[in-house]
Each structure stands twice: as structure tokens, then as C-alpha cells.
Amino acid sequence: KSALSVILRYIPLIDDRRKKDALIGLVALPGFVEATPILLDEYKKNTDSNILWVIGNTLLIIGDKTIALELIDLLEHKKNIDHPADWPDVPKTPELIAKEMLLWALGKTRDPRALPTLKKYLREGPSETFALEGIKYFDDTSLIPLVEKLLTHHWPLVRSTAKKVLRHLQRKVGLRH
């Protein structure tokens, strides 16, 4: 724990992207909620989509169930995010790329206040896959029609994730398919 405390103190002080990525990765430990406030603060301060994605991924791994409102706030507000030159050419804005892992982490909180935001991203795309991963944490039959609509999506990854999430929801509520 003391080594992790030192790492947490250094995360805000490091400007080099690769070093910051590495330090953030070191605190990606399930249940290490002590890192959450620093990571949320770093997310608010940074504009590099790579760093923001790593922070979102780390928040997902930590699994802090108390941060739903903070995640909703981050997802609902526009942010100018830098698009690194080495990022693949995908039909997504750097802002959406950075927010994808936050969607999944939001679902993992299992907070009912998360559902409107997750549903919004399911309908508006193009981060449906990550919204679906968040939706699967809720055992709510009203979500099944939303997920079923994505079974015919034009992106194969969205279709396969929708299939997986639909099976999960149907098992949870005792439906067979």
C-alpha cells in the first residue's frame, strides 16, 4: 500500500504521456478505490485521448461503485480532446474514444442513475459496444428490447456484443433463447 501511495502522489506530477500511462496502469487493481479521486481529477485535467482511455480502463478495473454521478458528469459534458497522430482511423471522435471505458465503468457501478446515460449511448452510438458492456450489469428486463435492436447493427462487434449481453440478461431474468 505504501508504494501505491507514492505512485498516486506522482501521477499528477508527470507530464510525459508514456510515463503517466505506466503509473496509472500500476494502480489498476480491483478494489483500490483510494486511486479514484486522483484518476477522476486527472481525467478532468487531461485532453489526450490515450491518457483518458487508460484512466477509464483503470477506473473499470478498480470497480468503485460510489462514482456513478462523477462518471455521468464526465460522460454528459463535452470536452476538447486531442487526437494523437498514431490513433487508428475510426469513425469516432477522440472524445468518444476517451469516454468508452467510462461507459463500461459506469455500468459496473450498478447504480440505477447510470441507466439513462447508458441508454443514451446505446441509441446515439458509435460507442454502443461499451454501453452494452455497461448495460449487462443491470438485471432489468426493460433493457432487452434496446439490446435486441442492436442484433442487426452494421458493425459485427456491436452485433456480437449485443448477442452476448442479451443472453446474459435473459439468463438473469429466467428467459430462454
Instruction: In whole angstroms, give the CA distance from residue 69 to residue 175.
Output: 31
Give per-residue pLDDT as tens, 18-53: 999 999 999 999 999 999 999 999 999 988 888 988
Which residues of the chain fall below pLDDT 50?
82-88
Q: What is the pLDDT of residue 60?
A: 94
Task: Report the interhelical angle of 36-45 vs 17-26 (nearest 10°).
Answer: 160
Give per-residue pLDDT as tens, 123-135: 766 688 899 999 9
Q: What is the pLDDT of residue 69?
A: 96
Q: What is the pLDDT of residue 87?
A: 43
